[in-house]
Amino acid sequence: MSEPILIVDRAREKSESNSAFAYRVLRDNIMRLRLSPGCVLNEGMLSAELGISRTPVREAIIQLKEENLVEVNPHKSSNVSLINFILVHEGFFARATVDPVAASVVCDGMDGGTAAGLEANLADQEKALRKGGSLHRFFVLDGLFHEILFRAAGMDHIWETVSRITTHYDRLCYFDVLAGSSRLRPVLKEHQELFAALRAQAAARLPGLIKGHLSHFKNLHPFMLEEYRAYFQDM
């Protein structure tokens, strides 16, 4: 067999069904651009690599198609979708609208468990940006940071829904990981500021902090976008 294509972050858990496993690994590889926008998905190869049959792979692909991450072509082959700027902006709109609500609910009264969870998460983010750390790990922790806030606000299903709306936005944000730690340090700093504002119950500071935090993709370097132009639908 040829070189493995997929990165498997976490080994398969006992409770995880074949299709849940296939979905998790494929989605993760698409989001980290390992399966790059536009690349063809070969069901046979993927199922061989994951060591499962083709049915769960097909189920995962159906689900990824629902989330606009995969396009299934009329002649039955499928490929990872190119990044579409209209969807990027819809994703940004969803986050920019919903995040402040979750933050303001948490700001009203953050429980000890949430505070401890966020603090531990921030410490891990710092570690990920140190020498020898993993920038990809930072990206994962970034998502987790916001998920903790949504959960604490009683908005877990809303987080799931928003994650399905932001599939193109999130992939564009991953360009910061490709660009290196200098673009991620400000992100860490903003997470720390957000946490401090929540802790101080400084609700007035939240909207500005969140808007700026979510807008990083707007100042990606044009040269970089040019370098990856094959990843985009309209470039």
Is position 94 an interface residue for another protein (rule: CB under 8 A)? Answer: yes
Beta-bridge partners for 79: 40, 71
Binding to another protein by residue 114, rule CB under 8 A? no
Residue 143 and residue 165: Cα distance in Å, rounded? 14
Phi, psi dihedral angles at 215 (to 5 degrees)? -95, 5
Token pair 């930072």 is found at: 138
Q: What three-state secondary structure class fits 15?
A: coil
Q: Which C-beta is closer to another protein: that of 46 or that of 153?
A: 153
Is there binding between residue 76 and another protein (CB under 8 A)?
A: no
Q: Examine residue 85 and tell whether it contacts another protein (CB under 8 A).
A: no
201 binds another protein (CB under 8 A): no
98 in contact with another protein (CB under 8 A): yes
Contact mark string toward another protein, 33..62, x via CB under 8 A: -------------------------xx--x
Answer for the pair 126, 145: CB distance below 8 angstroms, yes or no: no
Angstrom distance (rounded) from CA 214 to CA 223: 21
- Candidates 95-103, 109-117, 173-181, 207-215: pick the segment binding another protein (CB under 8 A): 95-103
Let me know: does 134 contact 35? Beta carbons within 8 Å: no
Give the nearest distance from C-beta 109 to another protein in angstroms: 12
Least Å distance between CB 1 and another protein? 27
Structure tokens at 59: 């189920």
Distance CA 232, CA 88 (A): 11
Contacting residue, 85, 93, 174, 232, with another protein by CB under 8 A = 93
* For another protein, the closer CB: 63 or 125: 63
* Cα dist from 205 to 151, 218, 221, whole Å: 21, 21, 28
Binding site for another protein (CB under 8 A): 19, 58-59, 62-63, 66, 68, 86-87, 90, 93-94, 97-98, 101, 105, 154-158, 161, 164-165
